[in-house]
Amino acid sequence: RYVEFMKKVVPMHDDLFDFFYEALPGYEKVGLRRTLLGCWGSFQDPEVCNFEYKDMERWGNAMYVTPGVVVDGKLLTHSLVDINLGIRILLGSSYYDDWTDQEMFVKTDPLGNPVDRRHPWNQHTNPHPQKREMDGGNYSWVMSPRWFDGKDHLALDTGGGPLARLWS
């Protein structure tokens, strides 16, 4: 019975989508967006991984699922150090005041690389409760983590889920 039902339902859905594609030009692009994926890697090799920052490049590359940042189908980096240093915390539409005029906790990482003022290591939490303003104002207690590729702050899917793991 199930097979007979599916023989009727599948062609019906094909016709329905064909109708939408003809009636609404551009409908096939609904949900289409840039591919912005970040993966921290997974399944460390116990023979290599010591979790020390100075060795992070080596043990990151030895992971069974390697780390990586993929933008528009191109692997930009697989370096855990670069991925880490590229993270920025932006205020977005959050109920926080900026911290750019406050003390920087970390100016360089343990390898001597410069750490940005907006990196999580330098984040200050300055709550600024206010009325919710949905039209162009602040409306959330959630800040906006981004990955800086050298010119843009990209909203990567950094959940490190299966799709990001496959691409990286």
* Whether residue 138 sits in one domain with residue 68: yes
> Residues near 31 by Cβ (< 8 Å), separated by ≥ 6?
none
Question: Based on the domain organization, do 2 and 78 belong to the same domain?
Answer: no
Query: 116 near 140, Cβ under 8 Å?
Result: no
**Torsion angle in degrees (nearest 10) through CA of 114, 115, 116, 122:** -150
Which residues constitute the domain of residue 16? 1-32
Nearest CA among 82, 72, 66 for reference residue 165: 66
* 121/48 Cα distance (integer angstroms): 26
Domain count, the chain: 2
Looking at the structure, tell me whether residues 162 and 111 fall in a common domain: yes
Cα–Cα distance measured from residue 61 to residue 46, given in angstroms and rounded to the nearest whole number: 13
Amino acid 168: pLDDT: 59
Q: How far apart are CA 162 and CA 79, in angstroms?
A: 19
Q: How confident is the model at residue 162 (pLDDT cuts 50, 70, 90)?
A: low
Residues 75 and 90 in one domain: yes
- Residue 22 contacts residue 141 (beta carbons within 8 Å): no
Percent of the chain with pLDDT over 70: 95
Which residue pairs, CB below 8 angstroms and at least 24 apart, start in 132-140? 137/93, 138/93, 138/94, 138/95, 139/93, 140/92, 140/93, 140/94, 140/95
Kindly report the pTM of this predicted structure: 0.77
Of 60-64, 100-104, 138-142, 145-149, least confident by mean pLDDT is 138-142
pLDDT at 139: 85
Residues 66 and 91 in one domain: yes
Segment 8-66, tens digit of pLDDT: 999 999 999 899 899 999 888 888 888 888 888 889 999 999 999 999 999 999 999 88
Residues 26 and 44 in one domain: no
End-to-end CA distance of the chain: 43
Round to whole Å and give the CA distance between 63 and 40: 10
- Same domain flag for 83 and 127: yes
74 and 152 share a domain? yes
What does the radius of gyration of the chain's CA atoms come to, in whole angstroms? Answer: 22
